Chains A and B, each alone.
Chain A
Amino acid sequence: MEVTQALLNAQSIDGTIRKHAEENLQQFQEQNLPGFLVSLSGELASEDKPVDSRKLAGLILKNALDAKDENRKWELVQRWLSLDTAAKAQVKACLLQTLSSLVLDARSTATQVVAKIAGIELPQKQWPELIGSLLSNIHQVPAHVKQATLETLGYLCEEVSHEVVDKDQVDKILTAVVQGMNSSESNDVRLAATGALYNALGFAHANFSNKEECECIMTVVCETTMSPEVKIRQAAFECLVSIAAMYYVKLEPHIQVIYNLTSNAIRSDQEPVALQAIEFWSTICDEETDILENHVGDTSGDSDIHCFYFIKQALPALIPLLLETLLKQEEDQDLDEDTWNIAMAGSTCLGLVALTSRDDIVPLVIPFIEENITKPDWRQREAATNAFGSILEGPSPDKLAPLINHALPFMLNALVKDPSNHVRGTTAWTLGRMFEFLHSSIVGTTIINEENAQQIITILLQSMKDVPNVAEKACGALYFLAQGYEDVGLTSPITPFFKDIVQALLTVTLREDATESRLRASAYETLNEVVRCSTDETAPLVLQLVSVIMMELHKCLEVQNLSSDERDKHSELIGLLCGCLTVIIQKLGSSEPTKYVFLQYADQIMGLFIWVFACRNATAHEEAMLAIGALAYAIGPDFAKYLPEFYKFLEIDLQNFEEYQVCAVTVGVVGDICRALEDKILPCCDGIMTQLLKNLSSDNLHRSVKPPLFSCIGDIALAIGDNFDKYLMYSMNTLQIAAEIAAHTSGFDLEMIDYINSLRNGILEAYSGIFQGFKNSSKTQLLIPYAPHILQFLDSIYMEKDMDDVVMKTAIGVLGDLTDTLGSTVGSLIQQSLSSKEFLNECLTSDDCLIKESAEWAKLAINRVISV
């Protein structure tokens, strides 16, 4: 086969030629994979081949090694590892050779493929000579080779975890990278080296702990931020941001220098550089807030968690710097969701500084607000308002409330009178933040009282008629206004305005331009919050809302023949309406009298939800499912009448692996229905259980759905009692396999341990449900054979010492359930288990009241059995 021609044809603009070439390549690959990969790597390495065929050869190689989908990726990795060694060696040799190519595109394609192979082989302890050979003569090679080598090292560090590279090799990589960043090198080399350092920072913990090496890295990074080349400066600041996050404690000796560099960049460098410089300070805020929130009063003397108060020290200089950035707004920046400019970054950073420095920031910002808020230039008014809005989270209410009380009349006036859209939008946002952080029954200060409540609401409702961007922010302000009255009790100050508010929000949702600026979504979210926080006084009005929303949903479902763009917006609206109904169902279902009245709509509502399933949109399905779960909970056993019709959609959505969120929500709804129907769910159980077990054994379902799937098995068992016997063997087998996997966590990272704990919890909830379901049944002896394994599982997760509180609670509960159901038949087994002794005692003395409660239950059950 003529590979070069096939690769060129595969990029032809003629569809027929292209298709034919692609088929040929595919065929080649299927018939002789090693030969195919070798000839691709040969193509890539040949300096006399056309650049386009070389590039595509490299790309196909890369795609033969990696895929976005986790399962596919795993298959590809296994395929490569099992390939003939000679072929692999040939491919690798060609790739390394290509790194010296004079053709940039060939080189840089090869760098990525080398890194992919390294990502597969290094963890397997294969290709151990790679890093050494890359670095062997880096000082002697021409600049273009050095650039490609450093780029390869950068990608390599991105691909592999730091554990698989020896310290000695890390040192060599860092040395090469730091040398490459030196100002004597060419720009291409410096850029590649700086990029490589960014990826290698995660490998450099030991080096940062060494004072001299740390000093060396910091010095070269700081120098590089002053490179004449903008891309290099940007890359260097990216490194600083990453260092701030990873090595905060190492920054102290350099912070003054970094302050000077960043402030120059923020004031006068190009935007991409300035943005990174601001991000540096935002990251410092993140770190210090985290330390102050989580480790304050930590007297363990652990030097790793020490706050250096960089923000506090820099405050007098940092604040004017950030306030300046606020004046660099772009017109209509709020209209484009993708915009990210220096004013936005500055405002965000100011907010983070307020969170970190609390009251100290207030006197530094107030003069700026006072000076600018009445200026004729909209930029100054907007910047002043923005500054006010940015510092509302962090400082104490005592400090802020007087300022807000003073400013509120002015702001309300500006909201409707200011000629600039931008100023009105930011004013609405600032009002929203005032209500979010300072208006609530918990805060203790009042900024809203009987006198101004009416004025505030009236003006917000008026503002909802403004342009979409402003109206959306006004909705947001009303959202927080309503939320502040959440715990107000029997009478809410909102009550007199409830009807007007709901009417205004519904009007907004019907605006022609409601799809702009998320306006419609915000209006529904606000409506939801107003309903959530309403009191019994307005229950009749919420009841009236039911038919209004149902009518909207009905109208929406009737629309046909939409373009694909319209269909998306349409599905989104269906989702919003279902979401609104969920909130209403929960609200009205929470008290008996309103539930009773509301349930007269149940048939119609359920009919609409069923109709929603006809539209193929994940969000709409998910929202309808959530609503149905809430409805089943409110209705209880009578929900059974909807089951025959609803069941088929339930089954379909349980099989939606692609949009796994839909599947996950549906699994949760099965649980709701189990609890509502109890044994009336029996007729559907064959189908549901088959699907649940299928899902559990599938590799294609997102792993996050597995824990709820297990819990759901428990829900079913609890609902149908010993009728579960026919699923018992299959379920127990699946549970046992999963339990064996979930018993141990050694060698996994924290994220994986969290996942394993959620898996354990699901498995244990399944066991609980099964045991409780069989309690007092004549078939309990069916469970006895499984008891040893389950007790062993409990013992082994106890021994691992890495359970979280939730698992601990569920696990000790299972001990109780097992004992309670099986009684003295397993008495000696239980007495032998670690769980009934050390583990139980540990739980009995736990500070967590839920664990203690479960443990008391287990103790009670054990005492009954043992004393008998």
Chain B
Amino acid sequence: MAPHDLRRPFKRPLISDQERRRQQSLLRQAQNRLDAQHHARFLVSTAFSLSSSQTPEPETEPIHEPESHQNDELDVLEASKLKGAEARKWFAKQLMHPEWMIDIPENLTNDWFVLARPSGKRCFVVSSNGTTISRLRNGSILHRFPSKLPNGARTKDVNSGSSNSYSILDCIFHEQDQTYYVIDMVCWRGYSLYDCTSEFRFFWVNSKLAETGAFDPPSYYHKYSFSLVPVYGCDQSGLCSAYSAPVPYVKDGLLFYNKHAHYQAGITPLALVWKDENCSQYVMDTDSKGQVPNQQQVVLELQEDGKLTTCDDPPVVFGCLDGSFIQQSDLHSGYLLRFAIGEEGLVLVGGKLEKADLQYLGKANRARASADSFSKVMFQYSVRHSPLKLDDLLGSVSSPVDQESKACDIEMDG
């Protein structure tokens, strides 16, 4: 019988360098295959254009310059590689903005989440290629820093996936504790979550972020800490918790998310903001000196034909300036103008604006990027006249007990 070899490796490493290179190649290939799959699974459906979300143009003008045509095909992956002014322009258009809550949506209990919005700077946080960049709503950079988000710092973590993969979070930067509060997730390790329901996105935020160490206290490779905002189902207890439970940040109103809504760039009625004095320091708009003016002020955009519109899509017309006034005041279409709402206020018929008593104040601050939205004007208006109160909200959501008996009824019916 053959002699049995009992030699063991002696003073030699067990694995050869070539074997290691082979293993690393296999690992890299497997990772790249995974990335390619993810890319195919999630990204194709999210290519959304840069030009179509630019200043709304009348549909009768099918002008597409070659340049903007290219931009049509810009997807998140390509956008994540943009630099400078182009990146600013692109990112400025990508945040989802809530409408202001002017009436209570149906089925608030079952279809909506609620969370206490941190006060601070709303921004996109993008991690890729070993750095993390936060951009404000106008697209300009707030911070450039290393973080523990995927590919958020230059470390040699093989598991973080390919260096191309990027993650995008929707955050509010809270100055007081220098923390990014994550309110939504747009992309994760190259996955696009645009097409996912908010229910899914919140699940993802909760399960994925913790894996990265993003919640760790700041360190050399993790300059700012990230934190979650507690999200509640919109029943009585959820609403009460969001409204009054202590949080480590200063609150600025409540945010409501429709559970089934996808992430949508621009203003959407499927996300809503509501506030009162108890949960926000900024219920009523202030002027440049921080004072609440006697009369409500609104900013509207002057159109070619003299109409004054909101930033909504389609825009809501609040009034009209006559040509001579425009010429006299040296105004041009596209200007953002400030008005006060006079004694006669806003007249609504069946939810639609019939008439507004506008008093021209002047051009708006240069920093303003767009006109007010309809819902904002209406919310501010109602705050001054007949505010929507917490009790109204509570009254509209059923208590857990109600729900149970409801469910029971249905069963018995069946």
Contact = CB atoms under 8 A, between A and B. Distances in A.
Given A238-B4, A476-B13, A765-B33, A718 B200 contact: no
Contacts of B155: 487, 489
A633 B32 contact: yes
Interface in B1-45: 1, 4, 6-8, 10-11, 13, 17-18, 21-22, 24-26, 28-29, 32-33, 36-37, 40-42, 44
A775 interface: yes
B154 interface: yes
A134 to B, nearest CB: 17
A775 B40 contact: yes
B196 A860 contact: yes
A473 B10 CA distance: 12
Contact of A489 (B28, B41, B44, B221): B221
A241 B6 contact: yes
A629 B25 contact: yes
Contact of A579 (B4, B17, B33): B17
A773 B4 CA distance: 52
Interface of A: 151, 154-155, 158, 195, 198-199, 238, 241, 275-276, 279, 282, 334, 340, 344-345, 347-348, 429, 473, 476, 486-487, 489-490, 521, 524-525, 528, 533, 536, 575, 579, 582-583, 586, 590-592, 619, 622-623, 626, 629-630, 633, 665, 668, 671-672, 675, 711, 714-715, 718, 765, 768-769, 772-773, 775-776, 813, 816-817, 820, 849, 852, 856-857, 860
B17 A626 contact: no
B129 interface: yes
Given A155-B1, A340-B7, A528 B17 contact: yes
A-B pairs, top 7 by smallest CB distance, nearest first, are A772-B40, A525-B17, A340-B7, A195-B1, A279-B6, A344-B10, A348-B8
Nearest to A237: B6
A279 B7 CA distance: 9
A9 B56 CA distance: 98
A276 B6 contact: yes
Contacts of B156: 486-487, 533
A772 B37 contact: yes
A429 B40 contact: no
14 contacts: A340-B7, A490-B154, A579-B21, A629-B25, A665-B25, A668-B25, A672-B29, A675-B32, A675-B33, A711-B33, A714-B33, A718-B40, A772-B37, A816-B41
Contacts of A586: 24, 28
Given A769-B37, A860-B200, 17 more contacts: A275-B6, A282-B8, A340-B7, A345-B6, A486-B156, A487-B155, A489-B155, A591-B163, A626-B22, A629-B29, A630-B25, A630-B28, A665-B25, A671-B29, A671-B32, A715-B33, A775-B40
Contacts of B325: none
Contacts of B211: 849
B139 interface: no
Given A275-B6, A860-B196, A813 B25 contact: no
A528 B20 CA distance: 11
Contact of A768 (B6, B37, B154): B37
A149 B155 CA distance: 65
Contacts of B42: 857
A817 B41 contact: yes
Most buried by A among B1, B22, B36, B129: B1
Interface string B29-65: 1001100110011101000000000000000000000
A629 B163 CA distance: 17
Contacts of B21: 528, 579, 582-583, 623, 626
B1 A675 contact: no
Interface of B: 1, 4, 6-8, 10-11, 13, 17-18, 21-22, 24-26, 28-29, 32-33, 36-37, 40-42, 44, 129-130, 154-156, 163, 196, 200, 204, 207, 211, 220-221
A159 B33 CA distance: 42
A730 to B, nearest CB: 22
A777 to B, nearest CB: 11
A434 to B, nearest CB: 14
A347 B8 CA distance: 11
A776 B211 CA distance: 33
A623 B37 contact: no
A794 B253 CA distance: 49
B36 A675 contact: yes
Contacts of A348: 8, 10
B1 A199 contact: yes
Nearest to B155: A487
A813 B37 contact: yes
Contacts of A533: 156
A279 B8 CA distance: 9
A668 B10 contact: no
A269 to B, nearest CB: 15
B76 to A, nearest CB: 17
B62 to A, nearest CB: 24
Contact of A154 (B1, B8, B29, B204): B1
B5 to A, nearest CB: 9
A817 B200 CA distance: 19
Contacts of B33: 671, 675, 711, 714-715, 765
A158 B1 CA distance: 9
A591 B154 contact: yes
Contacts of B130: 591
B230 to A, nearest CB: 22
A107 to B, nearest CB: 15
Nearest to B13: A476
A582 B36 CA distance: 22
A536 B153 CA distance: 13
Nearest to B10: A344
A816 B4 CA distance: 51
Given A198-B1, A525-B17, A849-B211, A665 B8 contact: no
A487 B173 CA distance: 29
Given A668-B29, A672-B29, A619 B1 contact: no
B18 A347 contact: no
Contacts of B7: 340
Given A582-B21, A860-B196, A772 B41 contact: yes
Nearest to B11: A429
Contacts of A711: 33
Most buried by A among B4, B129, B130, B211: B4
A590 B28 CA distance: 12
Contacts of B220: 489
B36 A718 contact: yes
Contact of A347 (B6, B10, B29, B163): B10
A521 B18 CA distance: 10
Contacts of A816: 41
A591 B36 CA distance: 20
Contacts of B36: 675, 715, 718
Contacts of A592: 129
B32 A672 contact: yes
A348 B9 CA distance: 8
B11 A334 contact: yes
A562 B1 CA distance: 41
B28 to A, nearest CB: 7
Given A591-B130, A772-B37, A623 B18 contact: yes
A5 B44 CA distance: 78
B16 to A, nearest CB: 8
B1 to A, nearest CB: 5
Contacts of A195: 1
A541 B155 CA distance: 19
Nearest to B188: A853
Contacts of B4: 198, 238
A586 B24 CA distance: 10
